[in-house]
Chain A
């Protein structure tokens, strides 16, 4: 148990569907992240929120829409996805976002949400 909870763990959706992934952290952190991990590829940073403000959008297509209503919750809204978007989507949090590993800013990951687009 890392203190970062993601739901659902598994999601199958059609290309015309709209769904959302949810993440909640119980660590009192101020920064939250979405990462994407495709088969046999490195983790790709998608979005970063620091104190509820989006500080990073790593050239992610607009069919992925993040939402951070407060420092403890992060959503990833999905619409008109493509089969190549099928992947493991990981949420993470850290004390704050300095953009570096300075001062030991450790990232804590959730278990991930497996997304399959059919």
Chain B
């Protein structure tokens, strides 16, 4: 079983900032937190990865509090093309496990 908990689905509007929070209460000391994006009929695509505090790239920002028991993926000014499933991953012992992800639906 995945060690992460995310909302099953979210709706937002074009131009809005979207924040998706993931809980990972049992994260191990050495684990990084990684987010992937998956469009229909395609493989997941790496978005961002972090260990603590804040990470930002051209696509998103990742906020990680000091206790690392949760993380928040922030997508600035979303567009219709950001409609996808977003997965939060942390280490799972010897296996990398995907949960059900968050189905983000962007409305015009």
Contacts and interface: CB of A to CB of B under 8 A. Distances in A.
A53 B45 CA distance: 25
A112 B49 CA distance: 23
B96 A100 contact: yes
Contacts of B94: 56, 99-100
Nearest to A114: B41
Interface residues of B, number: 27
Given A101-B34, A102-B30, A104-B32, A110 B96 contact: no
Interface in B50-108: 89-101
Nearest to A35: B98
Nearest to A40: B100
Nearest to B43: A109
Interface in B10-39: 28, 30-34
B64 to A, nearest CB: 13
Contacts of B95: 45, 56, 58, 99
Interface on chain B toward A: helix, strand, loop, or mixed SS?
loop
B59 to A, nearest CB: 14
Contact of B100 (A4, A42, A106, A108): A42
Contacts of B32: 101-105
B73 to A, nearest CB: 15
B44 A43 contact: yes
Contacts of A109: 43-45
Interface in A29-74: 35, 42-43, 45, 56, 58
B42 to A, nearest CB: 6
A112 B41 contact: yes
A45 to B, nearest CB: 6
A100 B91 contact: yes
Contacts of B42: 111-112
Given A102-B31, A106-B34, A112-B42, A42 B93 contact: no
Interface of A: 2, 4, 35, 42-43, 45, 56, 58, 88, 90, 92, 99-112, 114
Interface of B: 2, 28, 30-34, 41-46, 49, 89-101
